[in-house]
Copies of this chain bind each other. A is one copy, B any other.
Amino acid sequence: MKVLITGVAGFIGSNLADRLLELGHQVTGFDNFSTGQEEFLSKARGFAGFRLERGDILELDALTAAMRGADLVVHLAANADVRFGGLHPRKDLEQNTIGSANVLEAMRLCGVGRVAFASTGSIYGEPAVFPTPEDAPFPVQTSLYGASKLAAEGLMEAYAETFGIQVYIFRFVSILGERYSHGHVFDFFRQLREHPDRLEVLGDGRQRKSYLYVQDCIDAILIALEKSRVRVNIFNLGTSEYCRVEDSIGWICEHLHLNPRRTYTGGDRGWVGDNPFIFLDCSRIRDLGWAPRLTIREGIVRTVEYLQNNPWVLERR
């Protein structure tokens, strides 16, 4: 299989590229390196089946050229910054919505018939139902990030109906693991590296969140692509558990043998648009035979170990 991965130099993209190459597939990677890291591709570069195209998904011509001959597009390139949407409202629109529209247009121009898309549990806003299933009540968006991903989902579905392509939409919880370079474990680890005696927590620490280990996430994507064969395939991806931010802090501190004084910015959410409770119903993907191998706790510890062994990641952002 020839696979084009957008955002190949990112956390999930580079892990997926490695996996697909190990399985014997050909991978063309596409990345503008705005947040992607050259180092994340060092393993992929060792495979003859890997090709890298530098470019931006907002440049339709470059994207189309990179895509020619692909059997499948995995569209991961995105602005993944949920928290600061209000500071630059166009960024989510451009990179997540218009960028995804370009991916679909490039597919149409090249005749590529399948796409897998990284969406987010954030599109459920503040759900009325927990765990939240894929057909939850019509949600109200609470962040520019979520809105931009919802828009991209809708475009994928409309292209499927209008042009007959097959789409796979994955609504992720937060993903953890090797090459993780963004999010709460990253922020806490960096703080504790700078001042091991104190930790500032956004919100009251009681937010309930879900996390999934990156290799479990990749397993799920590959199983869905293999076993689910309707035109529009939508899957929540997460574990069957959640933790409080406080739990996560405890596991991180225990692993690091630290006992910092914790201060809280207060309130039941970390920032405007933060979701105080994320817990997805993943029975649809589990029904295909998938199950995560790591618990949230194991995923968090694995991530801290990665950051300990790769301190350069902390300097890059």
Contact = CB atoms under 8 A, between A and B. Distances in A.
B163 A141 contact: no
Contact of A135 (B137, B158, B162): B137
A173 interface: no
Interface stretch (A22-30, A42-50, A147-155, A304-312): A147-155
Q: How many copies does the complex hold?
A: 2
Given A101-B90, A135-B137, A137-B135, A143 B158 contact: yes
Contact of A90 (B86, B105, B134, B161): B105
A101 B93 contact: yes
Contact of A158 (B136, B141, B162): B141
Contacts of A273: 158, 161-162
Contact of A150 (B85, B90, B154, B163): B154
Contacts of A138: 134-139
**Most chain B beta-carbon contacts within 10 A, residue among A137, A148, A161:** A161
Given A101-B90, A162-B272, A157 B142 contact: yes
B147 A157 contact: yes
A85 B162 contact: yes
A183 interface: no
A97 interface: yes
Most buried by B among A128, A154, A159: A154
Contacts of A151: 97, 147, 150-151, 154-155
Contacts of A147: 151, 154-155, 157-158
Contacts of A150: 150-151, 154
20 contacts: A89-B101, A89-B104, A89-B159, A90-B105, A93-B97, A93-B98, A93-B155, A137-B138, A138-B139, A141-B153, A141-B158, A142-B157, A142-B161, A146-B154, A147-B151, A147-B158, A150-B151, A151-B151, A158-B273, A161-B272
